[in-house]
Structure 1
Amino acid sequence: MLARLFLMSSLLIYSVSVMAQKKIPLWPDKIPNRVDSDEKEEFTNEDILWITKIQKPEIEVFLPPNRKNSGAAVLIMPGGGYAGLAYDWEGTDVAKYFNSIGVAAFVLKYRVPLSKSVENKEWVPLQDAQRAIRIIRARAAEFKVDKNSIGVMGFSAGGHLASTLGTHYNKRLPFMDDAVEKESARPDFLMLMYPVISMKAGLTHQGSHDNLIGKAADKQLTDMFSNELHVNAQTPPTFLLHATDDGAVKVENSLVFYQALKDNGVPVEMHIFPAGGHGFGLGTGNPSLAQWPSLLAEWINGLKN
């Protein structure tokens, strides 16, 4: 009996350890564009886990069972208006879905420009995003993923960051001279969910605009982060999702990015739902919206053909 109990407890410990996910710091030593401050990360959880004042950027690793592993991987960027991160709703919950279809997922806890601990604030999220995808590529064998099948997904302001990575992956933000930095930061595909795309007046989400580039940003800075202006033939294939009645981020953000991709011959698929508002995550509880994950899964499978 004791032996049986010991075996059961050992199996329980083993299963818990297998299920436990790994968190990997983006920067092993000095964090770039960081200044000392008295800020501490803040976590609040009222239905959604909300993280603000991020101090230690990292990726959380979610790997599918070996028997399901497709070799594809996704770096997920939660939204939050560049003020914080809706970490579970648009991050870890989505990662678990990807695991269910055999895709490895990595949730990015990226620094936000509002923090007192950052300088050169407009470049800090992109710097974290570039480093994250390079880490995944550098450790692809460990994660059992194909380093040429790594996409990025972003929600809302996280969609702006994902589209910034997709259009500015060659932006040189040098910091570390290590093997990771030698990897490409170009995503192999983009998935943009009710994304902020533009910083232009009348089109942008004002909160994301003000937090990232400031209320008084000049035309040069505005154009730099209006990602519809930077699409070219090398921009990765893209999946776009939006709701027509989105009252926070205008659906026109997705439309202008779609048009730019089409004009440059980049494969693109777009789904515009008539209703759903903003921030609907996986669409849980809405029979119409809840179909989008399966549409995305079919699209990802189609990329292999």
Structure 2
Amino acid sequence: MQINNVSNPTMTVYPPKGLNTGAAVIVFPGGGFRVLAIDLEGTEICDWLTSQGMTCVLLKYRVPGGNDYFDEKCRCRIFPKIPLALQDAQRTIKLVRSKAREMNLNPRKIGVIGFSAGGYLVAQVSNIVSSAYATVDPVDELSSRPDFAIALYPGHLCRSGALESSIHVTKETPPTFLVQAWDDPVDPICNSTLYARALNEAGVPAEVHLFAKGGHAFGLREKDHPIAAWPSLLKSWLKEIGVLSMR
């Protein structure tokens, strides 16, 4: 299911099933900044995250109008002067962090996961620390940088063979997990390889999985190729970096 014309952002919280690890993951669905794949890359992902003892926060970020991010002249995706999705993502991270005690979370275990366009949002919030919006309340004094980041088949990062100019990876960028298929027909593999190279050059711990087959927008539904193993690989990585350790 896809939704569009989102003018009012919302965040929906799904509590962990069973033991609570104290970790939370904010989910950014994909959809090319035109729509949101709210089930494939939203609620289905939350079902898996909560089954691992993590709180899931599903962000329905603004995608106002189906063509606001598409230029008919060049037949390409463009970005508005006002980065609505980035504003919503930054604010959500701050809100979750501000409510850590209330939600029984460890404020140092707040991560993000994004798919396609949502993967681009993951890179943005991982590296853009200045607020994209005017201060609203004391919550905005908190950091919007996640403690860990997960991007699947990210888009918009590879521009003419170079990393998108607004993404400046530093040693402060959080540990990152990347997954993409080499045969992705929508977002070329360079979106992951260029970002992985930047992470490596900055000394950021990263785990990168590039599979031969899987296409695009596979979510948790791919069952016929090795790329279907990404959830178990992610679980192992989350354990290794201490996210799935208790508290």
Counting matched residue pairs gives 234
1:281 aligned onto 2:233: no
What per-residue deviation string (whole Å, max 9, x for no partner) do you get for residues 181-214 of structure 1? 122101001100000142523679xxxxxxxxxx
1:223 aligned onto 2:156: no
Gaps of 5+ in 2: 70-78
Q: Aligned to 1:132, which of 88, 92, 109?
A: 92
Q: Aligned to 1:108, which of 27, 36, 59?
A: 59
* Alignment partner, residue 129 of structure 2: 169
Secondary structure at the aligned position of 1:289 is classed as: helix
Q: Aligned to 2:198, which of 241, 260, 277?
A: 260
1:147 aligned onto 2:89: no
Q: Does the 8 A contact of 1:195 with 1:253 survive in 2?
A: yes
What per-residue deviation string (whole Å, max 9, x for no partner) do you get for residues 122-150 of structure 1? 41111000000011011111211111101
Give the greater-gyration-radius structure (CA). Answer: 1
Return the alpha-carbon distance in structure 1 between the equivalents of residues 54 and 225 of structure 2.
24
1:101 is aligned with what amino acid?
Answer: Q
* Alignment partner, residue 189 of structure 2: 251
2:128 is aligned with what amino acid?
Answer: H
As a proportion of its length, which structure holds more helix? 1
1:194 is aligned with what amino acid?
Answer: Y
C-alpha RMSD of matched pairs (Å):
2.2
Question: In 2 relative to 1, CA 132–254 (structure 1 residues): closer, same or farther, beyond 3 Å?
Answer: same
**RCO higher in 1 or 2 (8 Å CA, sep ≥ 6)?**
2
Residue 223 of structure 1: how far off its partner (Å):
2.1
Secondary structure at the aligned position of 2:83 is classed as: helix
What is the 5 A alignment of 1:16-95?
A: 49-65=1-17, 67-95=18-46
1:129 is aligned with what amino acid?
Answer: A
Gaps of 5+ in 1: 1-48, 205-221
TM-score, normalised via structure 1 length: 0.72
* Alignment partner, residue 73 of structure 2: none
* Alignment partner, residue 187 of structure 1: 146
TM-score, normalised via structure 2 length: 0.88
What is the 5 A alignment of 1:191-210?
A: 191-198=150-157, 200-201=159-160
Question: In 2 relative to 1, CA 200–68 (structure 1 residues): closer, same or farther, beyond 3 Å?
Answer: same
Residue 285 of structure 1: how far off its partner (Å):
2.6
Counting aligned pairs with the same residue, the percent is 39
